[in-house]
């Protein structure tokens, strides 16, 4: 599980291969050598390795030539252009100030990196080797001596120390609340050698990745410019990555260019990658305008997020003539559980009966068939599309975890016997819920003290109407929200949609000025301490992940079980128990997820025949076919 910064609100900007910015969970390594114990660790073996994995061997050996899923001979050159929605006024996604530009961290790299075909592995990237004892009380990174920042200055261990402390001191509150106290001290032992000593209470599985996943910034640049991690910036932070900012036109366009002097262009990890000379992001006010811009060739690669457009919108001339290609690419990641989340800080949403009644009014079956052409699945679990999802009644191993929490009165005893909670099933033939569902939802509201008045509205004992405000900046959601509001009106709930601009949307979510808002729950294959950003009580007061302000002692305890898991079987069992509990608490209304990635692009981009399971990688390992560009120009397809 990764620790993450605030969402960047990048709209349609496509997802690239995971790398660099990720703060990894990590564990036991494939060995290069065994070193003799030091004086301070006389009873322990110190291992030196090129990478780290909690579960099993690393996929790639130390001497691999290139990643399996790239074309090592891919040509360099050309431009890829994508789109983003809304506006931007900053290049710092870690600050609460401003709205960050799309891809603003594209130039960031960490000491360790991941691949798109090894969900548990973390490999040396800015380091040559790492060293750690059996108890993982410390980790030492031997950094590469050839790494330079974009301005040509060398990266040293002092930059790594500075960057780590920067996140601890100036990172967003939810991150600092988890990270503070994780590391006891950091020692710079030489120009390219740094050791992180961990506190005994820190999560063992997260230690190495926590230290090695932080992006490395230039200490000298920060000192010279006076930049801060908690303030907006007009340029990206000085980093070591392959791309740098070429130009920007606020609220219209951002262009990143490949650095010709990039230090890592020839290392095995980068063969066949970073192939485009330029990556251009065009901004549009909404999805409809962006789609029209794609048809007109204003940008050339589109990750489609609208099922309606995917099903019916691509009957235009460029597609019919074969100038624009479409692909449906299986997504091997944990599915994103897109939901509406309740603001649990508001008293009216603290009663689970009320939340359950509201959720029963969303008719996914009708929405999927009528609005989405049957293309989506409903995310029953917080780990859809994986074996981490709870299913059926709990196993004996799950009950062992859950029983003590039930005995303390923190969970209802039914969780020990009942099947995992799934949403109510509706009839796809009609938007209106069945009478039985409406009656059941109404009964829940009656039990909770919300009774129907002479005007048809639900009111509590104080005479206050049950109102609900859904905030949204994207008009694509109107066709989903408005039928939901109609169904809530049937129940006597006074619901409305408030469409606001991107900046207001970000601020109101942060300040808690909403009843329902969208949240995409992006879990990983190896959940750990990052779960606290999503669900822990200590992040509820100020979090870009725990938007629902969840404060549940039971969930806190179960997160601790997940963090403590040391084997894959233990991890799966503890995640099943947590998933089962999150669904029973019921703080969200699950909407949908897409088990595929839909892409459309002008026919001069190429990719390897076999794409990896964890990334489409269009900005990472696709490439530009110059001859195809000339053919399209000759055919009149391109301006």
Q: How far apart (Å, rounded) are the C-alpha atoms in residues 590 and 368?
A: 13
Q: Return the closest-CA partner of residue 172 out of 8, 12, 382.
A: 8
Q: What percentage of residues in the chain have a pLDDT greater than 70?
A: 93
Domain boundaries, the chain: 243-333+595-635, 337-592
Residue 42 has pLDDT above 70, yes or no: no
The superfamily (CATH) of domain 337-592 is Dipeptide-binding Protein; Domain 3 (3.10.105.10)
Residue 1 has pLDDT above 50, yes or no: no
Residue 28, pLDDT score: 30
> 463: which residues sit within 8 A by CB, 6+ positions away?
none
Q: Which of 169-173, 361-365, 569-573 has the lowest mean pLDDT?
A: 169-173
- How confident is the model over 303-344, as pLDDT tens digits? 999 999 999 999 999 999 999 999 999 999 999 999 999 999
The pLDDT of 258-285, averaged and rounded, is: 97
How confident is residue 599, by pLDDT bands cut at 50, 70 and 90?
very high
The pLDDT of 603-612, averaged and rounded, is: 97
Mean pLDDT of the residues in the chain: 91
- Top mean pLDDT of 16-25, 114-123, 170-179 is at 114-123
Same CATH topology for 243-333+595-635 and 337-592: the answer is: no
Q: Which of 43-47, 239-243, 477-481 has the lowest mean pLDDT?
A: 43-47
- Residue pair 55/568 in contact (Cβ under 8 Å)? The answer is yes
The CATH number given to 243-333+595-635 is: 3.40.190.10
How confident is residue 44, by pLDDT bands cut at 50, 70 and 90?
confident
Rounded to 10 degrees, what is the CA torsion of 499, 285, 593, 103?
A: -130
Residue 43, pLDDT score: 67
Q: Which of 2-11, 95-104, 410-419, 537-546 has the lowest mean pLDDT?
A: 2-11
Residue 358, pLDDT score: 98
Residue 54, pLDDT score: 87
Residue 542, pLDDT score: 83
- How confident is the model over 13-31, as pLDDT tens digits? 333 333 332 332 333 333 3
The pLDDT of 204-231, averaged and rounded, is: 96
Residue 464 has pLDDT above 70, yes or no: yes
Measured on CA atoms in the order 373, 382, 92, 114, is the torsion positive or negative? negative
Comparison of pLDDT for 111 and 29, the residue scoring more: 111
User: Which letter does DSSP use for residue 110 in this model?
Assistant: B
What contacts 24+ positions apart, CB below 8 Å, involve 440-443?
440/360, 441/356, 441/357, 441/358, 441/360, 441/361, 441/491, 442/357, 442/491, 442/492
Residue 602 has pLDDT above 80, yes or no: yes
Q: How far apart (Å, rounded) are the C-alpha atoms in residues 321 and 175?
A: 50
The pLDDT of 220-243, averaged and rounded, is: 97
Comparison of pLDDT for 156 and 172, the residue scoring more: 156
The pLDDT of 433-449, averaged and rounded, is: 97
Q: What percentage of residues in the chain have a pLDDT greater than 90?
A: 86
The pLDDT of 492-507, averaged and rounded, is: 93
- How confident is the model over 373-422, as pLDDT tens digits? 999 999 999 999 899 999 999 999 999 999 999 999 999 999 999 999 99
- Residue pair 444/466 in contact (Cβ under 8 Å)? The answer is no
How confident is residue 619, by pLDDT bands cut at 50, 70 and 90?
very high
Measured on CA atoms in the order 608, 592, 383, 472, is the torsion positive or negative? positive
Q: Return the closest-CA partner of residue 101 out of 4, 216, 237.
A: 237
The pLDDT of 455-481, averaged and rounded, is: 94
How confident is residue 639, by pLDDT bands cut at 50, 70 and 90?
confident
Q: How far apart (Å, rounded) are the C-alpha atoms in residues 150 and 142?
A: 21
Comparison of pLDDT for 282 and 542, the residue scoring more: 282
């Amino acid at each position: 599980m990764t620790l993450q910064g605030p969402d960047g609100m990048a709209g349609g900007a496509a997802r690239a291969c995971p790398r660099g910015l990720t703060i990894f969970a990590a564990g036991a390594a494939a060995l290069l050598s065994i070193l003799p114990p030091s004086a301070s660790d006389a009873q322990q073996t110190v291992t030196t390795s090129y990478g780290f994995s909690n579960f099993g061997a690393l996929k790639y050996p130390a001497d691999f030539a290139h990643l399996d899923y790239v074309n090592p001979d891919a040509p360099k050159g050309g431009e890829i252009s994508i789109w983003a929605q809304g506006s931007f006024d900053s290049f710092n996604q870690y600050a609460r100030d401003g709205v960050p530009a799309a891809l603003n961290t594209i130039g960031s790299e960490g000491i360790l990196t991941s691949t798109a075909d090894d969900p548990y592995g973390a490999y040396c990237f800015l380091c040559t080797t790492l060293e750690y004892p059996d108890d993982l009380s410390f980790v030492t990174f031997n950094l590469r001596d050839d790494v330079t920042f974009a301005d040509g200055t060398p990266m040293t261990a002092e930059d790594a120390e500075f960057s780590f402390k920067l996140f601890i001191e100036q990172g967003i509150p939810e991150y600092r609340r988890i990270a503070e106290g994780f590391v006891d001290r950091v020692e710079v032992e030489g120009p390219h050698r740094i050791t992180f000593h961990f506190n005994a209470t820190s999560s063992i599985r997260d230690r190495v990745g926590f230290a090695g996943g932080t992006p490395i910034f230039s200490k000298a640049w920060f000192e010279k410019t006076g930049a801060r991690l908690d303030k907006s910036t007009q340029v990206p932070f000085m980093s070591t990555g392959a791309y740098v900012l070429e130009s920007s036109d606020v609220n219209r366009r951002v262009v990143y260019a490949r650095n010709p002097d990039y230090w890592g262009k020839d290392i095995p990890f980068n063969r066949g990658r970073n192939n485009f000379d330029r990556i251009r992001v065009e901004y549009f006010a909404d999805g409809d305008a962006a789609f029209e811009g794609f048809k007109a060739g204003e940008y050339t690669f589109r990750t489609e997020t609208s099922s309606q457009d995917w099903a019916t919108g691509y009957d235009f001339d460029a597609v019919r003539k074969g100038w624009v290609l479409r692909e449906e690419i299986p997504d091997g990641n944990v599915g994103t559980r897109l939901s509406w989340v309740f603001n649990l800080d508001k008293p009216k949403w603290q009663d689970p009966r009320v939340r359950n009644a509201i959720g029963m009014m969303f008719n996914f079956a009708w929405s999927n068939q009528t609005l989405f052409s049957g293309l989506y699945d409903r995310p029953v679990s917080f780990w859809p599309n994986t074996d981490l999802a709870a299913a059926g009644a709990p196993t004996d191993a799950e009950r062992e975890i859950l029983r003590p929490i039930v005995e303390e009165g923190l969970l209802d005893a039914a969780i020990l016997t009942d099947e995992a909670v799934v949403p109510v099933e509706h009839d796809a033939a009609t938007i209106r819920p069945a009478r039985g569902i409406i009656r059941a939802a109404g009964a829940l509201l009656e039990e909770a003290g919300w009774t129907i008045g002479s005007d048809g509205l639900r009111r509590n004992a104080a005479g206050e109407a049950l109102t609900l405000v859904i905030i949204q900046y994207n008009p694509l959601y109107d066709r989903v929200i408005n039928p939901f509001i109609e169904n809530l009106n049937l129940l006597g709930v006074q619901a409305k949609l408030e469409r606001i601009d991107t900046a207001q949307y970000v601020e109101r979510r942060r300040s808690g000025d909403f009843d329902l808002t969208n949240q995409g729950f992006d879990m990983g294959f190896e959940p750990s301490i990052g779960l606290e950003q999503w669900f822990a009580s200590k992040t509820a007061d100020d979090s870009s992940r725990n938007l629902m302000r969840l404060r549940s002692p039971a969930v806190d305890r179960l997160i601790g079980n997940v963090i403590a898991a040391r084997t894959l079987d233990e991890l799966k069992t503890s995640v099943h128990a947590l998933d089962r509990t999150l669904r029973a608490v019921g703080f969200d209304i699950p909407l949908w997820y897409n088990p595929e990635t839909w892409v459309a692009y002008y026919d001069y981009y190429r990719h390897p025949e076999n794409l990896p399971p964890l990334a489409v990688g269009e900005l990472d390992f696709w490439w530009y076919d110059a001859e195809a560009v000339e053919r399209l120009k000759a055919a009149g397809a391109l301006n």
